[in-house]
């Protein structure tokens, strides 16, 4: 996959892994569009990297996804790379009391429905390009879940499964399908959850994920397993002894 002269959309691109990817792709001479629901964070990203194009969008909402695609089609008809990066992570305990449906639906909408629907909406544009790609950012927790964040882990497992099927269905098109699998990354994902769990390991810097992603694209590696995510992937057959770690 070429890594220069692309036009790239990154969801959740104003912070964390998304912003690191944006910076890395910009340095590789690509046109980069980021979207996110917080205008202040988008403005901060734009101030830091003036070459970025920004669009305010809550990808968990279907109407906003549709408006985003209309805007992209009109303003960036050469779009050839979609990075489904936006995600949320919540600590949820099903043992204590019923979990509110709106909390479950929020995580499902952002982490599963949004990337699947956005991919579907953008495929007509992507398939018009000579070379294009979909990158789904999942997690090592798709393979070895962490019991404290059960819905998050389930959504990433679902995204992994969808990516496998999508790759097969698009094998005869110009669209290559990649999965980026990070380990623990030092971002704001999960809010104060790591502190509440007493988690000492803050994870690798987002820039490491971005650099591994770029290298994986250059090598046409379908599953880009970053750092310790390789171990989680390898440990998936030993799930139950590790589930409470």
Q: Dihedrals φ, ψ of 122, to 5°?
A: -95, -10
Q: Catalytic site residue 55? A: no
Angle (CA) 53-13-23 rounded to 5° is 75
Q: If DSSP states are collapsed to H, E and C, what string results for the chain?
A: CCCCCCEEEEECCCCHHHHHHHHHHHHCCCEEEEEECCHHHHHHHHHHCCCCEEEECCCCCHHHHHHHHHHHHHHCCCCCEEEECCCCCCCCCCCCCCCCHHHHHHHHHHHHHHHHHHHHHHHHHHCCCCCEEEEEECCHHHCCCCCCCHHHHHHHHHHHHHHHHHHHHCCCCCEEEEEEECCCECCCCCCCHHHHCCCCCCCECHHHHHHHHHHHHHCCCCEEECCCHHHHHHHHHHHHHHCCC
Which of 55, 152, 168, 233 is the catalytic position?
152
Whole-angstrom distance, CA of residue 238 vs CA of residue 186:
26
Q: Dihedrals φ, ψ of 143, to 5°?
A: -105, -35
Catalytic sites, residue numbers = 152
């Amino acid at each position: 996959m070429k890594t220069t002269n692309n036009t790239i959309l990154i969801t959740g691109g104003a912070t964390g892994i998304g912003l690191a990817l944006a910076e890395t792709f910009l340095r590789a001479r690509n046109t980069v569009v980021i979207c996110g629901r917080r205008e202040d964070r988008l403005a901060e990203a734009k101030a830091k990297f003036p070459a970025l194009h920004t669009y305010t969008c809550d990808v968990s909402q279907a109407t906003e996804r549709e408006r985003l695609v209309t805007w992209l089609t009109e303003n960036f008809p050469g779009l050839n790379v979609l990075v489904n990066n936006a995600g949320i992570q919540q600590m949820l305990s099903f043992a204590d009391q019923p979990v509110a449906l709106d909390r479950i639906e929020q995580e499902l909408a952002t982490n599963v429905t949004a990337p699947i629907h956005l991919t579907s909406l953008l495929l007509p544009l992507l398939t018009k390009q000579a070379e294009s790609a979909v990158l789904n950012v999942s997690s090592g927790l798709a393979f070895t879940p962490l019991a404290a964040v059960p819905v998050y882990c389930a959504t990433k497992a679902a995204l992994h499964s969808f990516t496998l099927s999508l790759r097969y269905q698009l094998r005869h098109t110009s669209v290559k399908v990649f999965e980026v699998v990070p380990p623990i990354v030092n971002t704001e994902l999960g809010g104060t959850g790591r502190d509440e769990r007493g988690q000492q390991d803050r994870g690798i810097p987002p820039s490491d994920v971005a650099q591994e992603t770029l290298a994986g694209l250059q090598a046409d590696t379908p599953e880009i397993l970053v750092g310790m995510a390789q171990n989680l992937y390898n440990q998936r057959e030993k799930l139950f002894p590790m589930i409470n770690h």
